[in-house]
Structure 1
Amino acid sequence: MNETRVTTIGFTKSTAERFFERILSAGVKTVVDVRLHNTSQLAGFAKAEDLSFFLRKIGNINYIHKPILAPTDDILKSFKKEKGDWKIYEESFMNLMNDRKIENRFDPDFFNESCLLCSEDTAHYCHRRLVVEYLNDKWGHNLQVRHL
């Protein structure tokens, strides 16, 4: 299997200019939105319909929403609203991906030159990092991951 180049990015604490410049400079061809909910008015320029339009117009970049790569409302609520423990969130989400068998639902080529998008400004405490780590483990560490 060839190495697959995949990036990740969050949109909070970023201007639209900085966000799109990072996407363009990384050579992204497809943004894979891994948020469960992608239509909130609070998302600003990253609201699904707007983001799809901007990506296409600014860089001829495709936009795909894949909520199967997102945590459930229950997992999100226990971590975000109830100030849950990161380790419990991480374990719950990893178990969810395992239960969903996401490694069998996608081909590594699907992610080549893609960028996983969520809201967190850094990948450290974010499920987008967990998604690529999980898949990298399942697919023999052939994903070349860069967090923007």
Structure 2
Amino acid sequence: MKIYTIGFTKKSAEEFFLKLRRTGANRLVDVRLNNVSQLAGFSKRDDLRFFLKEICGMDYVHLPELAPTQDILDEYKKNKGDWAVYEQKFLHLMSRREVERSVPQGIIDNSCLLCSEDKPINCHRRLVAEYLRSKWGGGDIIHIV
């Protein structure tokens, strides 16, 4: 199994789509809670779906079950919460949701997980990739920065 991850912040549309195309991934899996009101126009759901197909030949799927709840997100972002607390709460949420059972492995394999954060270190897309890899028995995670 191979899982790519990418964030769109601090990337031009050209840089973003060229990096994605170079991966050879089959689809982009949007793991954001809200996929329609981002500041970068190319990252809004309908525009993103179009650009992915036309530029990269990739499919698009939105899996909000791989996103944090609004409460968890607000506590970390708006209230400047602690990353370790966020990580623990998010991983507990993934476990409660049993995403390793509800999300088909075939949708994630050779796909790229999308979120807004520029780097994966403090982003839930990294946590999703690591969680699924551990539950599904291995695989490679490649973070595109």
**CA-CA distance at 1:127 after TM superposition:** 0.2
Q: 1:43 aligns with which of 40, 43, 66?
A: 40
> Over residues 78-115 of structure 1, what are the superposed CA-to-partner deviations in whole Å (9 max), with x where a residue is unaligned?
00000000000000000000000001112322212200
After TM superposition, the structure 1 = structure 2 runs for residues 104-143 of structure 1, keeping only pairs within 5 Å, are 104-141=101-138, 143=139
Q: Taking every aligned residue pair, what percent have the same amino acid on both sides?
A: 51
Amino acid at match of 1:70: A
Q: 3-state DSSP class of the match of 2:96?
A: helix
TM-score normalised per structure 1 = 0.94
Instruction: State the superposition RMSD in angstroms.
Output: 0.9
Q: 2:9 aligns with which of 9, 12, 15?
A: 12
Distance 1:48 1:114 in 2: 17
**CA-CA distance at 1:28 after TM superposition:** 1.5
TM-score normalised per structure 2 = 0.96
After TM superposition, the structure 1 = structure 2 runs for residues 24-63 of structure 1, keeping only pairs within 5 Å, are 24-63=21-60
Which sections of structure 1, spanning at least 5 residues, go unmatched?
Answer: none
Amino acid at match of 1:18: E
Which sections of structure 2, spanning at least 5 residues, go unmatched?
Answer: none
Distance 2:80 2:137 in 1: 34
Q: 3-state DSSP class of the match of 2:106?
A: helix
